[in-house]
Structure 1
Amino acid sequence: MFLLDAPVSLAHDLVAGLAGLLDPVAGGLATAAAIVVFTAAVRLLLVPLSVAAARGERKRARLLPQVQALQKKYAKNPQRLQRETAALYRAEAATPFSGCLPVLVQWPFFGVMYRLFVSATVAGHQNLLLAHTLFAAPLGQNFIGVVGGGLFAPASLVFLVLFALLAAVAVWTSRRAAKSGAAGPAGALMRLLPFGTVAVAAFVPLAAGLYLLTSGAWTAAERAVLRRRFAPLPA
């Protein structure tokens, strides 16, 4: 836990500084807007990994007909299918997991945001960010903590809108992943992973949920752009 103290302190200073800059424009929404900007900056740093993942997706799409042929040929022999599929990817220097890399790498940043909004103190000082809200919902509170006031209370409604937006992004992202050419457990993981954000968002502070939503929306837009840039080559 002590290893996170320095990153959490840095994140606190960044978010607080951004909120101060955004306050003349965003007013009471400045801290929430700062979290969105912070998340976008993180995703901007990870663009090279996303480009590499898009190249991998292009390669998987090119291999999809061969993978489907193997699935048909070894439909009754899952172990042989797994070996042959792995051999095909190995021969073509491809991997079914490359699309997961940008998601996995950013989880430490999400962990810092989570820790920031569950910590009463940061660097020995009171964490004043916990007093900030998004409309009626405290940024440091989770859905379980506010739903006791009523499912349709203002604070609960903020979370319900967040969940709906996360679900919409997850559906879009999952459908795009289904077209990526990844087969077997890797493909299933890539299709199901986006929906995990909806479940996670119910148990983490609202600030961390905003991180998930911003990052998910970035992923959706980024994949749309990169998919056109790295469209599969004609067979």
Structure 2
Amino acid sequence: MDIYTFPPIAAILDAAYGALTTLSTALEPLAGSAAAAAAVILVTLLIRAILIPVGVSQAKAEQTRARLAPRLRELQKRHKKNPERLQRETMQLYKDENTSPFAGCLPVLLQAPVVGILYSLFLRTDIAGHANELLTHDLFGASLGTSLASMLTAGPFSPATLLVYLVLIAIMIGVAEVTRCVFRPVPVEDSPLSSPGMLRAMSALHYLSAVFAVFVPLAASLYLTVTVTWTLIQRVILRRRHPLPVAA
């Protein structure tokens, strides 16, 4: 069974298709054949603007976790031989401060449906029973419906697609590296979340968007590139407004 024929999903996908094609048509006098790509960028910026309050909450939560670090270290020393008591006390501390060690996952979860819709819009040849005209659009000669992985494995090979993807992936890797260096997590002594393995895993997550971009259509990769760039700029601004406490 094709999940996209399920009426609620088909209706959502058709509505998203209609909105994106309408915006793309409006942008054609300015963007030409890249109108659909410009529409994707504008939709991404709109979504990120809507999620600004979430980013502010995330920055405040990060500030709170850094402030709680000394108390967490104290709990770890006090209950070092009682892991269950340590876990309860740690979670109670986060609860009392109205925060969570996993608060940063919210923006990613909120964006997942958007990436899924963009992936579907530029993957299917038909949307709700009619032809998908978005697949005829391109960005500097690279089809918005082609993924780098599919081009390299199944063809046909397109130098324009390869070049555009290399530029987008280079931007994402550069943003990931800056983010990793500037926003290192505050280590908590003897905490499982601060173990070398966990810290390496958290650092690797910064590059996940670049890896994911290889396998999704170019339109979704464009969305990811704009998203990670916006996120870095937003975090720099919010870090200045909500600085982390300086360790004594």
What band does the TM-score fall into relative to the shorter chain? 0.7 to 0.9
Larger radius of gyration: 2
Cα deviation, residue 195, structure 1? 1.4
Which residue of structure 2 lines up, in the alignment, with residue 25 of structure 1?
Answer: 30
Pick the aligned partner of 2:212 from 196, 200, 213. 200
User: Which blocks of at least 5 consecutive residues in structure 1 are unaligned?
Assistant: none
Name the amino acid aligned to 1:51: V
Judging changes above 3 Å, is the alpha-carbon distance between structure 1 residues 105 and 167 closer, same or farther for their aligned structure 2 residues? same
1:50 and 2:55 correspond: yes
1:160 and 2:166 correspond: yes
Name the amino acid aligned to 1:205: P
Structure 1 length normalisation: TM-score? 0.85
Name the CA distance, whole Å, in 2 between partners of 1:215 and 1:109: 11
Name the CA distance, whole Å, in 2 between partners of 1:152 and 1:119: 20
Q: State the aligned residue count.
A: 235
Which residue of structure 1 lines up, in the alignment, with residue 231 of structure 2?
Answer: 219
Q: Which shows bigger deviation, 10-19 or 201-210?
A: 10-19
Cα deviation, residue 70, structure 1? 5.3
Pick the aligned partner of 2:179 from 146, 151, 173. 173
Q: Deviations over 1:42-70 (max 9, x none)?
A: 11222222221111111112112333555
Structure 2 length normalisation: TM-score? 0.81
Judging changes above 3 Å, is the alpha-carbon distance between structure 1 residues 82 and 50 closer, same or farther for their aligned structure 2 residues? same
Q: Which shows bigger deviation, 196-205 or 12-21?
A: 12-21
- Superposition pairs for residues 83-162 of structure 1, below 5 Å? 83-147=88-152, 153-162=159-168
Name the CA distance, whole Å, in 2 between partners of 1:205 and 1:180: 36
Identical aligned pairs, as a percentage?
40
User: Which blocks of at least 5 consecutive residues in structure 2 are unaligned?
Assistant: none
Cα deviation, residue 100, structure 1? 1.6
Judging changes above 3 Å, is the alpha-carbon distance between structure 1 residues 44 and 30 closer, same or farther for their aligned structure 2 residues? same
Judging changes above 3 Å, is the alpha-carbon distance between structure 1 residues 162 and 73 closer, same or farther for their aligned structure 2 residues? farther
Q: Deviations over 1:157-185 (max 9, x none)?
A: 21111111111122223334424668644
Cα deviation, residue 23, structure 1? 1.7
Q: Which shows bigger deviation, 150-159 or 115-124?
A: 150-159
1:209 and 2:221 correspond: yes
Contact 1:8/1:113 (8 A) holds in 2: no
Contact 2:40/2:222 (8 A) holds in 1: yes
Judging changes above 3 Å, is the alpha-carbon distance between structure 1 residues 221 and 72 closer, same or farther for their aligned structure 2 residues? farther
Q: Deviations over 1:114-140 (max 9, x none)?
A: 111111111321001011111122100
Contact 2:34/2:138 (8 A) holds in 1: yes
Contact 1:166/1:198 (8 A) holds in 2: yes
Q: Which shows bigger deviation, 197-206 or 165-174?
A: 165-174
Name the amino acid aligned to 2:204: L
Contact 1:175/1:191 (8 A) holds in 2: no
Name the amino acid aligned to 1:104: L
The CA RMSD over aligned residues, in Å, is 2.9
